[in-house]
Amino acid sequence: MAVTDDTVLARDYPFSPPHRLDVDELYARLRAEQPVIRVQLPYGERAWLATRYADVRTVLGDPRFSRAASIGRDVPRTNPYQPELGILAMDEPEHGRLRRLATKAFTARRIEALRPRTEQIAAELLDAMAATGQPADLVEHFATPLPIRVICDLLGVPASDQDKFHVWSEAVVSTTSLTPERISEYIGNLHAYIGALLADRRREPASDLLTAMAQARDADPDGPSEDELVAFSAGLLAAGHETTVTQIPNFLYALLTNPGAMERLRGDPALIPSAVEELLRWVPLGAASTFARYALEDVELSGVTVRAGEPVVGSLTSANRDERVFADPDTLDLARHPNPHIGFGHGVHHCAGAQLARMELQVALGALIRRFPGLRLGAGEDELVWKSGMLVRGLTSMPVAW
């Protein structure tokens, strides 16, 4: 079984183009029969793919696997050019030093304090959406502006500039929907914009995260560089945009297309927090897998030896459907408990915005079912248009009626 021979055939990966929120059946077979296989992504060198929960956690959490070692390699990836990934391409201790500039702002306690304001924004947006008449596009009127306003408030980025940076931040999660020239142009614009805001805050401090991060960096001359701070801040802005924005419609779609799910949640809104965790597990957000980790020494994963220097990608989607960990893994069970899903990743790169995203998603679902108890799709399932060429799966628009 333990084949590491390079002549062994690698399967093309992803196995199939993303289709709605369907999970390729091959993952279940691989978990049972061949949990670690050779794959070839559209670009880059060959990789190992791990599909079992335990192995994926090892790949993401064990310091014998490195992100920094991916620098200079022809990294397995879904986009033609190799993006600069900033914090996601660092190992300890550099990674922690950069990330800790922002840790405090994202703790569960601090994020909880933003809940009332988030609820208020959600209510305003839904009132405005109701006024436009039905069917209305949930993506445009609710799912997009809500997380953007929240992250802008938190960072201290003027929401009035959002038309600019919304376009630029798409570059961060684009795979093939933008040309490489466009992507570097947009990322350059975004960095210049953030760099200017940081300079403003040094002159005129405010009570926002950009100020706090600039001050923390200036206080630690051995810490992260200014470029790293700029890229990290831009990353927070972009991530704060593209992920939750996509997940709100995905969650609603999952609730509306899994029989009984929406009724259950309406009947018992106290289920919202556990429903959000279950949806984070069940929705296959990533169109492919996580960023490849490189083995720093030989590591055994389910009987396969990954040699030092070889890259491994872990499938969060497959791990979150592993029958070894989750009973009836394909069933959306809004009351599932315990639910140790890894929808936010695992280990030192565990999503920095996890607590924020959780809070936003809870607020979004709560506000939607309260304001529109009869909420339903405003178009046939076949008329819905899904994104393509992105790192994540999601709807480009979502007509809803109530």
Partner 1 sequence: MGDKPVTGDKPVTSEDHWRITVDATRCIGSGICAGTAPRHFALDGSVSVPLSGDPDEAALDAAESCPVEAIEVRDQSGRVLAPSL
Can you give the binding site for ligand HEM, defined by CB under 6 A?
60, 87-88, 99, 151, 235-236, 239-240, 243-244, 247, 285, 290-291, 316, 343-345, 349, 351-353, 356-357
The number of C-alpha atoms within 13 Å of 92 and in the hemisphere containing its C-beta is 8
Q: How many CB atoms lie within 10 A of CB 380?
A: 8
Q: Looking at 42, 61, 195, 399, which residue binds partner 1 (CB under 8 A)?
A: 61
- Containing 191, the helix (H) or strand (E) segment is helix 180-203
Which residues within the stretch 91-130 sit at the binding site for partner 1 (CB under 8 A)?
Answer: 92-93, 96, 99-100, 103, 106-109
What is the smallest separation between the CB atom of 340 and partner 1, expressed in angstroms? 4
216 forms part of the interface with partner 1 (CB under 8 A) = no
- The residue (of 352 and 390) whose beta carbon lies closer to partner 1 is 352
Q: Any contact of residue 63 with partner 1 (CB under 8 A)? A: yes
Residue with Cβ nearer partner 1 (108 or 199):
108
In this structure, what are the phi and psi dihedrals at residue 114, rounded to the nearest 5 degrees? -90, -5
Distance in angstroms (rounded) separating the CA atoms of residues 201 and 188: 20
| Contact partner, 355, from ligand HEM, partner 1, none, Cβ < 5-8 Å per class | partner 1
Asked if residue 203 binds partner 1 (CB under 8 A), the reply is no
Nearest to 318 by CA among 337, 294, 302: 302
Q: How far is the CB of 348 from partner 1 (least distance, A)?
A: 4
Long-range contacts of 122-126 (CB under 8 A, 24+ apart): 122/146, 122/363, 122/364, 122/367, 123/367, 123/371, 126/367, 126/368, 126/371, 126/372
Structure tokens at 118: 């988030």
**Which lies closer to ligand HEM via its Cβ, residue 142 or residue 291?**
291
Point out which residues pair with 356 in neighbouring strands.
none
In the shown chain, the binding pattern of residues 318 to 357 toward partner 1, with x for contact by CB under 8 A and - for none, equals --------------------x-x---x-xxx-x---xx--
Q: Least distance to ligand HEM from the beta carbon of 390, Å?
A: 14
- Tokens representing 186 are 């947009």
